[in-house]
Amino acid sequence: MEFSEFRPLDDNLLLDYIKATPSLSSIVGNNFDDLTVKEIGGGNLNYVYIVVGSSGSFVIKQALPYMRCIETWPMTRERAYFEALALKEHGRLCPQNVPKVYHFDRTMSLIGMQYLEPPHIILRKGLIAGVEYPLLAEHISDYMSKTLFYTSLLYHTTLEHKGLVAQFCGNVELCRLTEQVVFSDPYKVSQFNRWTSPYLDCDAEAIREDNTLKLEVAGLKSMFCERAQALIHGDLHTDSIMVTLESTQVIDPEFAFYGPMGYDVGAFIGNLMLAFFAQNGHANEHNDRKIYKKWILRTIEETWNLFHDKFIALWDKHKDGPGEAYLPEIYNNVELQQQVQRKYMNDLFHDTLGFGVAKMIRRILGVAHVEDFESITDPSKRANCERRALELAKKLLKERRKFLSISEVVSTILELEA
């Protein structure tokens, strides 16, 4: 079955589609009698189906011409094309942490990909439940160091890099969405903003009136729009990662484009910070969550430190390769190379902090919130958790260049928590 135009899927249409698509029907052994199809689209944008049969399974994801959570908000279906491209490229660079792509249909805006079977769950749900993932920092630092280094000018020639940038430059609508919801809406009156009212009314107003904060956010927005540093996931929060105790899989890179590396690293670390501040709202008489909060802080620290070391190791390995950011004929002695690396990583660290806390602010005051806080049923308790997160975000956004290490950031978190 081939469609000459887009049609939204339903259970019956999807079954016909699978039967007519060899790359999908072969996965289930052409055995359609025992197939089960379940629509699980809990996200904001797309239809997502799990297809399970006795011979195999896969996931079907279809982009809609609007935001699923706000149907009056139109969206380009081309995001599915960029997601498929990013999954394939990131999967090539880090196959152990990215699900396989089996099929892509541009007309139907449809991707068929590997089903991450139970006990895989969305990382955010695991963090809410208080589950420790001992390999999370190791795995996510692997993913970020490889996908960011190998798509940057540290590894590519400028000619290669510009060609790759051009592949993704059409993903403008999702970039525009990010520009609006992360860097604009929380700092002005917007019909899409919401927060835990009336408890955070004054906090929201204070953000809108903070000129220093606005100047910092303007700089981050400029960097997001202008700096084609590497192929970034573009939405690397804890809903975009599926985990078990042994596995970490990064999904949903539909926002992918060539942008600043710190946006990805910051999104992940910022969401861990949100998870940390939400823990008091999930504590009870049986579990005060204090041990778990220590694990989250340790994971934040380990993630950055492991990422830093792995990224530098890749740089050292390929310093005489084709990458044209720092030509070996110019940066031709150990001392100079180390100076370059220190400055590069220091700038990346401060970018990470800035983007990370900008993501925190938008998840508390903007259009799309996080389950970490939303699942706290007592609004006054929820607001108290959110307010502490906002205080950290404001401090780091304004003073991030003063921080020299992730351990200093963790110490600041503990001070605000005291």
Angle at 142 between CA 394 and CA 350, to 5 degrees: 25
Q: What is the pLDDT of residue 66?
A: 80
Spatial distance between the Cα atoms of 248 and 32, rounded to a whole number of angstroms = 31
Strand pairing of 241-243 and 248-250?
antiparallel
- Positions of the chain with pLDDT under 70: 1-2, 41-44, 68-72
Coil, strand or helix at 241: strand
Sorted by where each begins, the domain ranges of the chain are 11-114, 121-417
| pTM assigned to the model | 0.96
Residue 241 bridge partners (DSSP): 250
> Which H helix or E strand runs over 88?
helix 79-93
Spatial distance between the Cα atoms of 270 and 267, rounded to a whole number of angstroms = 5
CA 242 to chain centre: 12
Contact indicator for 146, 140 with CB cutoff of 8 Å: no
Q: What is the pLDDT of residue 71?
A: 67
Spatial distance between the Cα atoms of 370 and 198, rounded to a whole number of angstroms = 19
Contact indicator for 243, 251 with CB cutoff of 8 Å: no
Quote the percentage of the chain above a pLDDT of 70.
Answer: 97
State the sign of the Cα–Cα–Cα–Cα dihedral 266, 268, 269, 272.
Answer: positive
Architecture of domain 121-417: Alpha-Beta Complex (3.90)
For the chain, the residue count is: 418
Half-sphere exposure of 141 (CA within 13 A, CB side): 21
If phi > 0 it is left, if psi is from -120 to 50 it is alpha, else beta; for residue 214 that is alpha
Q: What is the pLDDT of residue 214?
A: 98
Half-sphere exposure of 117 (CA within 13 A, CB side): 6
CA torsion 338-344-346-347 (nearest 10°) is 160
Average pLDDT, the chain: 96
State the sign of the Cα–Cα–Cα–Cα dihedral 402, 405, 406, 409.
Answer: negative
Q: Select from 3.30.200.20, 3.40.640.10, 3.30.43.10, 2.40.340.10 the CATH code of 11-114.
A: 3.30.200.20
Q: What is the pLDDT of residue 44?
A: 58
Q: What is the pLDDT of residue 68?
A: 63
Q: What is the pLDDT of residue 42?
A: 58
Residue 27 bridge partners (DSSP): none
In sequence order, which ranges of 150-197 are alpha helices (DSSP H)?
158-168, 172-183
Q: Which two tokens stand for residue 324?
A: 């044209």
